[in-house]
Structure 1
Amino acid sequence: MAAGGIAPAVEPADAVGPSTGTDPRTGEHGEDTMDLRLPDELLALIAGEEPDGHRARRWDQGTAQPSASGTPHRHLSVRPALRHHDDLLDRVADWGPAETTVGVFHLVPVRVERDLPLISRWMNDPATAAFWELSGPQGVTEDHLRAQLAGDGRSVPCIGVLDGTPMSYWEIYRADLDPLARHYPVRPHDTGVHLLVGAVADRGRGVGGLLLRAVADLVLARRPSCARVIAEPDIRNTPSIAAFLTAGFRFSAEVDLPAKRAALMVRDRALRHLL
């Protein structure tokens, strides 16, 4: 995958409970220790079973304007796709609104026929193209979106709608089921985030950091099995890294991914009220 982050201004347990990384002998918290318990969904995949699915509700509104960026690494499926309605992210469409200081924010799952022209326009902004690598004809962006929508639900592309206006593009994905998991000490249900702030008026004034915090908090609130939200912006994308830090993420490590050197950013459930 390329890499989640942003550009000029952004900014891309179903077990018994969330993994905390706490040593039971010492009581100390190890933030990046490996938890080797496989997610229930992954065990089901290995067994050839299919988890129960849900259809996402769609919004039915308008369009917006041009772009900023975050670079996703490509979400390559490592197993055959399940039925398109299977959902591994606890129904993103049902997460509801987030109240922020800049307005009411919703994540709305992408509908290609409605959203493709807008997203493609954002992807062709030079600042965006430098990190997302999806510039060119609409078909380039369409292939990227349809690959996620036709998959098993481990990655959900969304439009970010602020006070009724579509102004950003997001990808919420299962980092523990993604090729990214080969490059860091993964834990079950780690959830990844990519962000592109599309509207020029929303760049350079801290909106990316505010929305990243809101979305990370939504993930932790709606996915009780998730203990951490993960991001991997390009290490060169300093505005993006700054936005993640503002949003309460911590810099964990530099990691070499196939398409880039990335900053691994982590927002921990245990620290969300402190950072």
Structure 2
Amino acid sequence: MPPTDPSADSCHPSVTELTDLTGLTDLTGLTGLDEVTDLDEPTESPEQVLGGDVEDTLDLRLPDDFLACLSEEAGGAGAAGIPEAAAARGAGGPVADRPDLLDGVGAWAPAVTPAGVFQLNPVRLDRDLPLIVRWMNDPAVAAFWELSGPPQVAEEHLRGQLTGDGRSVPCLGLLNGSPMSYWEIYRADLDPLARHYPARPHDTGVHVLIGGVADRGRGLGSTLLRSVADLVLDSRPACARVVAEPDLRNTPSVSAFLTAGFRFAAEVDLPGKRAALMVRDRSLRHLL
């Protein structure tokens, strides 16, 4: 599983107020990042269903009639087009026109950032797997993503998304044309994560790792997080919140989210980690 920094739980977790994260400024070692949204006060401990050895987002299958409704609402191909698109994704074919449940991540416009022009490029296994495998085997990344090992480990994780129903899209992040980060853009409201907070329709989650050591520890993570969150909000009019759940042990990750305009929502126990639940609101994007 990716870090819940890419993973999460179900129901309403036990939440304690976090009081010592707002002053974090050190971004050294930014490698594993995640998301989530507003939490109500929980009333009971949840059944734990996410993590390295339990139920994953991509194991849940939506009914075809529901997928058809979502696709038609987004101007997509309908239920019949989803399996065909999934087969194309698994084969590593063209990506820009693949139907997904995220308003076509592959067609999102590039973003001009203080660091340069940034673009999300949906993963192709035949092209991108060796680079992603190398990043996942970096010890600083492996500590939170838990996808180190032979290529088959990362390939299985990626293929699960590429052959899924389009609720999660793995991407390379290109800065001035060069791949330097890995991202997962996913429908948090359709994810087991939604069981841990009062999810709203079209809540969108983000997982990220900065691949190159030279790109870490200089504020680049927070710059790109802000840009990607804005890309989500600009490209998905129905989405009101971008969410994340970085591991509390990953201080640079939590700090990067705060610097990027996310607010801390809660501290929560998830399978395999204690997480800081973060949210960037459309209504506050120009204030934070």
2:122 equivalent in structure 1: 109
Q: State yes or no: 1:274 paired with 2:287.
A: yes
| Distance of 1:86 and 1:94 partners within structure 2 | 10
2:209 equivalent in structure 1: 196
Q: Which has the higher helix share?
A: 2
1:238 equivalent in structure 2: 251
Which aligned pairs between 1:212-227 and structure 2 lie closer than 5 A? 212-227=225-240
2:4 equivalent in structure 1: 3
> What is the RMSD of the two structures over their aligned residues, measured on CA atoms?
2.3
Task: Report the CA distance between 1:228 and its aligned residue.
Answer: 0.2
Q: 1:160 aligns with which of 156, 165, 173?
A: 173
Instruction: Report if the CA contact (8 A) 2:28-2:217 is conserved.
Output: no
**For this pair of structures, how many residues does the alignment match?**
223
Instruction: Report if the CA contact (8 A) 1:95-1:218 is conserved.
Output: yes
SS of 2:161's partner is helix
Give the ranges of 4+ consecutive aligned residues of structure 1 lying more than 6 Å apart after TM superposition.
none
Task: Report the CA distance between 1:256 and its aligned residue.
Answer: 2.2
| Distance of 2:125 and 2:5 partners within structure 1 | 21
Which aligned pairs between 1:32-51 and structure 2 lie closer than 5 A? 32=39, 45=63, 47=65, 50=68, 51=71
| Distance of 1:195 and 1:204 partners within structure 2 | 15
| Distance of 1:179 and 1:148 partners within structure 2 | 15
1:205 equivalent in structure 2: 218
Percentage of pairs with the same residue: 67
| Distance of 2:39 and 2:138 partners within structure 1 | 36
Which aligned pairs between 1:53-68 and structure 2 lie closer than 5 A? none
Task: Report the CA distance between 1:257 and its aligned residue.
Answer: 2.0
The verdict on how the C-alpha distance between 1:4 and 1:269 changes in structure 2, with shifts beyond 3 A counting, is: same
Q: State yes or no: 1:92 paired with 2:105.
A: yes
SS of 2:101's partner is coil
Letter aligned with residue 177 of structure 2: G
1:40 equivalent in structure 2: none
SS of 2:109's partner is coil
2:94 equivalent in structure 1: none
| Distance of 2:211 and 2:82 partners within structure 1 | 31
